[in-house]
Amino acid sequence: MATHQPEYSRENVSGTIIGFWTPEIFHGVSVAGYHLHFISDDLTFGGHVMDFVIKEGMIEVGAVDQLDQRFPVQDRQYLFAKFNVDEMKKDIDKSE
């Protein structure tokens, strides 16, 4: 479960952060707010970014104006699954 994901920290490491921002109205389809991941230049350290301080860098921004989401409609387990949406929201909030 994502609520028990390990957390690691490093200082003085260079690399790339990539992510996206999702409006609150789309929380559930994605994670509302910023969702960032990191990979070090030497590819030995990375993962989900919870917090960071940057000394210097370059920022590139691009707009995403479309979301294409597909569902496994041929999967009977998916079609008849009973999802607890409130519990899923709590799990997302805990892990993010």
- The pLDDT tens digits for 62-89 are 988 888 888 899 999 988 988 887 887 7
CA 89 vs CA 69, 80, 86: distances in Å: 19, 20, 5
Write down the pTM of the prediction: 0.65
Between 30 and 42, whose confidence is greater? 42
Q: Is the pLDDT of residue 95 over 70?
A: no
Confidence of residue 43 (pLDDT cuts 50, 70, 90): very high
Other beta carbons within 10 angstroms of residue 55's beta carbon come to: 6
The average pLDDT across 42-51 equals 94
**What pLDDT is attached to residue 85?**
77
